[in-house]
Amino acid sequence: MPETQVFSVNPQSPNTECIQIAADVLHKGGLVAFPTETVYGLGANALDSAAVARIFVAKGRPVSDPIIVHLHDPSQLSLVARDVPDLAHDLVHRFWPGPLTLVLRRSPDISPNVSAGMDTVAVRIPNHAIPLELFRVADLPVAAPSANRFARPSATTAAHVFEDLSGRIDVILDGGAAVIGLESTILDLTRTPPAVLRPGGIALETLRALIPDLEVISKHLRPEDEGIQAPGMLYKHYSPRAELLLFAGSLDLVVPAMQSSARQLVETGRRIGILAPNAEQRYFVGIPAQIFQLGDDLSEISHNLFTGMRELDAAGVDSILVHGFEQSGLGIALWDRLLRAAEGRVIWC
């Protein structure tokens, strides 16, 4: 197993020797983790099936779970995908670089194991100077899932990547915390009408304004009842090790329910953690819980969510209590991640 080298790279001026080293690693079939605007990615040369296979091993990820191909320039689309519809070009123009992943027909040049053998390919250009420079120097399409061990919360800092993957990958490019903190929106353009498979950094409302008949079929897919649309989207996902208790309803009912559940759990000897917006810390004063402050608004809460899950895990709690947030904008992606982390169970209040 490789010794993992960590290089600190300034996103303001990423053109450094470290980028060249990382690009060489990609060319030799190695694995490089890098920041993006959503979460950290774990990249391999998408044209090299042996390199792509190493991603699955490093993450402990099932080979049935396809991987997003990352580009640095829209002109590379023809290398990756075929029969690209006009709508894709419009969306590329509007949203790339950015947190929108498009599912298209796969070109034969892309290793089939990138797409778990399916004839489609998911593709995006991240809005972050470090991967853009890395991909430009390497001049390769780069297959990259989130840089976490399978089923763990996605990594939003280089320290998270190190915690999960040190000794299993070659290089980590540390460019600071990922700004958005939740993964990209996945839009499948091979379906009619187009369908969102995972809500994310681009809001559904924004896409609906451009695609009025847009479908949303992501929601917390259960393979047994809906068939596997995006095979990686199994229920247990983005999870802390601790059990996550997800409360939903109006705040005046949710808060007392969380308080009494917290007290009961403490009485039975369980160590508990609470993920709460800053303004709600005061509701839990006097309860012996580890409290993680999520921030003030939806973008801060999204940015901090996975860090909060990881920190409470590191503190050794048995249960994590959290409630859902407003269901618009990033709030829909946030709800999706919370629901998956809670394995689909919601405590309605």
Which spans of this chain sit near ligand TXA (rule: CB under 6 A)? 36, 38-39, 41, 65-68, 99, 101, 103, 115, 118, 120-122, 126, 144-146, 183-184, 186, 197, 230-233
Nearer to ligand TXA (CB atom), residue 71 or residue 298: 71
Q: What minimum distance in Å lies between the beta carbon of 271 and Mg ion?
A: 27
Decide whether 117 or 256 has the Cβ nearer to ligand TXA: 117
Part of the chain binding Mg ion (CB under 5 A), chosen from 144-152, 212-220, 251-259, 282-290: 144-152
Is residue 218 involved in binding Mg ion (CB under 5 A)?
Answer: no
CA-to-CA dists, residue 195 to 120, 182, 186, 199, angstroms: 14, 19, 8, 10
Tokens of 155: 């990594």
Selection from Mg ion, ligand TXA, none that 312 binds (CB < 5 to 8 A by kind) is none
| Secondary structure (3-state) at 58 | helix
Output the DSSP codes for 80-128: HEES--HHHHHHHHHH-SSSEEEEEEEPTTS-GGGGTT-SEEEEE--S-
Using alpha carbons, list the distances in angstroms from residue 321 to 119, 171, 245, 262. 40, 35, 5, 8
Q: Which does 68 bind (CB under 5 to 8 A by kind): ligand TXA, Mg ion, none?
A: ligand TXA
Q: Which of the stretches 47-55, 87-95, 142-150, 157-165 binds Mg ion when contact is defined by CB under 5 A?
A: 142-150
Q: Which does 45 bind (CB under 5 to 8 A by kind): Mg ion, ligand TXA, none?
A: none
Query: Could you say which of 36, 146, 302, 304 contacts Mg ion (CB under 5 A)?
Result: 146
- The smaller minimum CB distance to Mg ion, of residues 113 and 146, is found at 146
Q: What is the token pair recorded at 165?
A: 């993957």
Contacted by 118, from ligand TXA, Mg ion, none: CB < 5 to 8 Å by type: ligand TXA
88 binds, among ligand TXA, Mg ion, none (CB under 5 to 8 A by kind): none
Residue 79 CB, nearest approach to Mg ion (Å): 24
User: Contact region for Mg ion (CB under 5 A) — 10-18, 140-148, 194-202, 287-295?
Assistant: 140-148
b/e per residue 155-188 (b: at least 16 CB within 10 A): bbbbebbbbbbeebbbbbbbbeebbbbbbbbbbb
**Dihedral (CA of 299, 300, 303, 306) sign:** negative
Interacting partner of 77 out of Mg ion, ligand TXA, none (Cβ under 5 to 8 A depending on kind): none
- Name which of 187, 290, 189, 197 is nearest 240 in CA terms: 290
Angle at 144 between CA 138 and CA 146, to 5 degrees: 140
Strand pairing category for 100-106 and 120-124: antiparallel
d(CA 68, CA 187): 12
* CA-closest candidate to residue 307, choices 297, 294, 318, 320: 294
Residue 273: contacted member of ligand TXA, Mg ion, none (CB under 5 to 8 Å, by partner type): none
Identify which of residues 39 and 77 has a Cβ nearer to ligand TXA in the complex.
39
User: For residues 198 and 323, which CB has a smaller minimum distance to ligand TXA in the complex?
Assistant: 198
Q: How many residues make contact with Mg ion (CB under 5 A)?
A: 1
For residues 83 and 94, the answer to whether their CB atoms sit within 8 Å is no
**Is the Cβ of residue 66 or residue 199 nearer to ligand TXA in the bound state?**
66
- Which residues are CB-contacts of 332 (< 8 A; sequence separation ≥ 6)? 199, 203, 204
Q: State the residue number with the nearest CB to ligand TXA.
A: 232
The whole-angstrom separation of Cα 8 and Cα 172 is 8
With respect to Mg ion, which residue has the nearer C-beta, 146 or 319? 146
Among ligand TXA, Mg ion, none, the one that 36 touches (CB under a kind-dependent 5 to 8 A) is ligand TXA
Report the partner that residue 122 touches, choosing among ligand TXA, Mg ion, none (CB closer than 5 to 8 A by kind).
ligand TXA
| C-beta closer to ligand TXA: residue 7 or 135 | 135
Residues that bind Mg ion (CB under 5 A): 146
